[in-house]
């Protein structure tokens, strides 16, 4: 997964949104973040949108997303809430 919309970083500020995009035409299913507190995750097509609450804890989070057509194909990305 790569940052969408021209973003150049895997850091996201509290109160902001980060869009991660799958490559190679993969549609995302079952996107999730760990730890999930203070994060809202939605997916549409190849994009996974992470909305960070203004009071979310800072630190490292793991993002996982399944391929909608093959649940054994997972993408993992490490992000940082700053």
* DSSP SS3 for 15: coil
Q: pLDDT tens for residues 20-51? A: 988 888 899 889 999 999 999 999 988 999 99
34 token code pair: 């760990």
d(CA 52, CA 55): 8
- Report residue 10's pLDDT band, with 50, 70 and 90 as the boundaries: confident
Rounded Cα gap, residues 56 and 73, in angstroms: 29
Q: Which of 35, 59, 44 is nearest to 4 (CA)?
A: 44
* pTM, 2 dp: 0.82
Q: Which fold has domain 2-81?
A: Immunoglobulin-like (2.60.40)
Domain ranges of the chain: 2-81
């Amino acid at each position: 997964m790569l940052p969408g919309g021209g973003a150049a970083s895997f850091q996201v500020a509290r109160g902001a949104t980060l869009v991660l995009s799958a490559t190679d035409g993969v549609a995302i299913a079952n996107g999730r973040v760990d730890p999930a507190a203070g994060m809202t995750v939605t997916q549409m097509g190849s994009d996974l949108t992470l909305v960070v609450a203004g009071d979310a804890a800072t630190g490292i989070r793991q993002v996982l997303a399944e391929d909608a057509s093959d649940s054994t194909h997972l993408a993992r990305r490490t992000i940082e809430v700053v």
